[in-house]
Copies of this chain bind each other. A is one copy, B any other.
Amino acid sequence: MAAKNSGARSKRTRRTSERPPPVQEPPLSRERIVTTAVELLDAQGIEGLTMRRLADRLGAGVMSLYWHVDKKEDVFDLALDAVLDYRASPPGNEPQDWRGEAIHMLEDWRASMLRHPWSASLLPRRVLGPNILSRLERLSQILSRAGVADTNLNAAIWSLWNYVMGATITRASFDVSDDDRAAAQQRLTRLSERYPTIERSRLLLDDDWNGAFRKGLGFLLDGLSPK
């Protein structure tokens, strides 16, 4: 139990001499499992990931997965952190001012997750994988350099985190279909005496998500800027 999966593994030297069926999958490994899990999640969504299907894709037996992973939950955790790999994001020509840097980094954060919409539904779990941590570290540095007071630093970090997570989850939830949104707005119009203000502003029909995200982020950064 203690001996099983933990840390780096899968230094393997097998297959030095040929085996009868030479056309064979490479050996299982935590990395292969995670990569395939992400593929499967992209293809079939969160309900589509079952241990059996995952094993099939890997050309392995179901129970073999459990050598590398404790529970199905672990697969989800690993997949989520994998999606958030910051180094995988193109560096771009980052602006020099802290504001631009923060915007760039937070928009990339959101975009990375929206590229894999299932990842948002995994958020409500305690995740502090290495990739998330380095993003937080990065953010902290930017704000620190920007002159945010030390006493405000943690609150500032969390507020940006909250904003980004909330925006991502919301966007991903509404991603399912534009029709639904239209339907909701219609329902709203029918009840316009109960919800007059948001009906008038067509809150639910506004589909410039990216613009709204950036605008709101702007509000928050304005509030955060040292005066």
Contact residues of A with B, CB < 8 Å?
A: 120-121, 123-128, 133-134, 136-137, 140-141, 144, 150, 152-159, 161-167, 169-170, 172-174, 176, 180, 184, 188, 194-198, 201-204, 206, 211-212, 215-224
Copies of chain A in the complex: 2
A136 touches B169 (CB 8 A): no
Give bound CA distance, A153 to B188, whole Å.
18
Cβ distance A110 to chain B, nearest Cβ, rounded Å: 10
Give bound CA distance, A150 to B180, whole Å.
25
Consensus secondary structure, chain A interface: helix
For A172, A180, A220, the residue with the greatest tally of chain B CB atoms inside 10 Å of its CB is A220
B155 touches A216 (CB 8 A): yes
Cβ distance A118 to chain B, nearest Cβ, rounded Å: 9
B195 touches A137 (CB 8 A): yes
Give bound CA distance, A172 to B161, whole Å.
14
B215 touches A159 (CB 8 A): yes
Give bound CA distance, A157 to B199, whole Å.
13
A158: chain B residues at CB < 8 Å are 167, 170, 203, 212, 216
6 A-B residue pairs with CB within 8 Å: A121-B124, A133-B188, A137-B196, A144-B197, A220-B223, A222-B222
